Chains A and B, each alone.
Chain A
Amino acid sequence: MASEHGEEVKVLGKWSSPFSNRVVLSLKLKGVAYKYSEEDFANKSDDLLKYNPIHKKVPVLIHKGNPLPESLVIVEYIDDTWTNNPLLPQDPYERALARFWSKTLDDKILPALWNACWSDEKGRDKAVEEALEALKILQEALKDKRFFGGETIGLVDIAANFIGYWVAILQEIAGLELLTIEKFPKLYKWSQEFVNHPVIKESLPPRDKLFAFFKASASK
């Protein structure tokens, strides 16, 4: 039985956020039952202010009344606590590598993709160049594996959810071609494996809703 701890698990999240989504994916992959609470940024809930007073950001995981912010910190905690379907490898070197790529995704790769999709005319060329370089680095890390985690979804796959799902939507809105089958065949293939994975598939926010949400932001 996956939920061996049984105590209440609560997630404070935002449906459109890839960071919130990472937490949801991890819990779903482990079959852990949880209560989800949608946060409205314009009107932060008492829970959010109480449980994440420092950053006032989602996601926050609350387990046995103990709060934890920061998506990647939460994902490792989930992996530590519910040990079925491990997200991190056993070997210390492989673990270090998984952590390195997850951090690089947050520090370098996600920002490059995000900036490119929201860049104005002036900064566009440089931003696109950096985004393509970032995707190249990520594809090299994948090598010929099905997932970054090997045969199963791992920490890096979860950390790369933005690349696997959000980028396709954002690049369409921006009128850019960043992650395409022609430019990055292996990485593109991975993105398809990712979004079609049975558990991931039902845990991602609906495409048309996400598209409409970001399109509305783009028009502002």
Chain B
Amino acid sequence: MAKNDLKLLGGWFSPFALRVQVALNLKGLDYEVVEQTLSPKSELLLKSNPVHKKIPVLLHADHKPICESLIIVEYIDEVWTNAPSILPQKPYDRANARFWLSYIDDKLLTSTKSILMAEDDEAKKPHLEQIEEVLEKMEEVFNKYSEGKAFFGGDTIGLIDIGFGSFMSWIRVTEDIIGIKVLDEARNPSLAQWAQSFAAHPSVKGLLPETPKLTEFAKLLILQWTASAR
């Protein structure tokens, strides 16, 4: 069992940990999830990721820990080369996939956090515009890359599907909390359809946190963020 000795330091609430789980499931791997709490951070987490102290962390056999969700996903794809491939085959397509994910991590994640922390509608406005801009852009990207198929990766889920799709629950929760729909079937029809396909995919099914539970968690997290921002 040495080769597949896999442990994931993850959290049910974390879209980043979810990315890794989807990748592991996609490759048909056996693994153990060691559920982490945001605080206090476990000894194992602090020892495994001393630089960032964050989940996810993948512990694979005798190797030292691997950190950072997308780096872990690429690692999984490189070690387990059985189908399906997560990264595209051609260098330019690979580079593009990485670019779009850095765009999402940079723009979508920060504006989501900001909008959740915004105190009133005025404060929310610029972040809302940013989120809508990202979703509009990703709608274009989807239409271009999917070539009429269900996913960014075509017939199977690829890096963009995994990286972006794992964030869907948090988008739903954000919509609930701010009372505004951002992923709109009218404005982003392809993405709305894709989000459903992603959620129903065998590697993802059952892993997306339920909105009510995640909303409660988010409310507590927002209090923490706001407290530490002062």
Contacts and interface: CB of A to CB of B under 8 A. Distances in A.
Interface of A: 54, 63, 66, 68-70, 73-74, 76-77, 80-81, 92-93, 95-97, 99-100, 103-104, 108, 137
| B interface SS class | helix
Contact of B78 (A74, A95, A100): A95
B71 A99 contact: yes
A54 B106 CA distance: 12
Interface string B185-200: 0000000000000000
Nearest to B137: A54
A77 B94 CA distance: 8
A81 to B, nearest CB: 5
A199 to B, nearest CB: 22
Interface residues of B, number: 24
A70 B99 contact: yes
Contacts of A99: 68, 71, 74
B67 A100 contact: yes
In terms of DSSP, what is the predominant structure of the interface of chain A? helix
Contacts of A93: 60, 63-64, 66, 75
Contacts, number: 60
A70 to B, nearest CB: 5
B72 interface: yes
Given A92-B79, A96-B66, A137-B51, A77 B92 contact: yes
15 contacts: A54-B137, A63-B92, A70-B102, A73-B99, A73-B102, A76-B95, A77-B91, A77-B95, A96-B71, A96-B75, A97-B64, A99-B68, A103-B71, A104-B52, A137-B51
A6 to B, nearest CB: 16
B145 interface: no
B7 interface: no
B95 A68 contact: yes
Given A68-B95, A96-B72, 16 more contacts: A66-B92, A68-B96, A70-B99, A73-B95, A73-B98, A73-B99, A74-B95, A76-B94, A77-B91, A81-B91, A95-B75, A96-B74, A99-B68, A99-B71, A100-B66, A103-B71
Looking at A63, A100, A108, the one whose CB has the most chain B CB atoms below 10 A away is: A100
Nearest to A109: B51
Contacts of A97: 64, 66
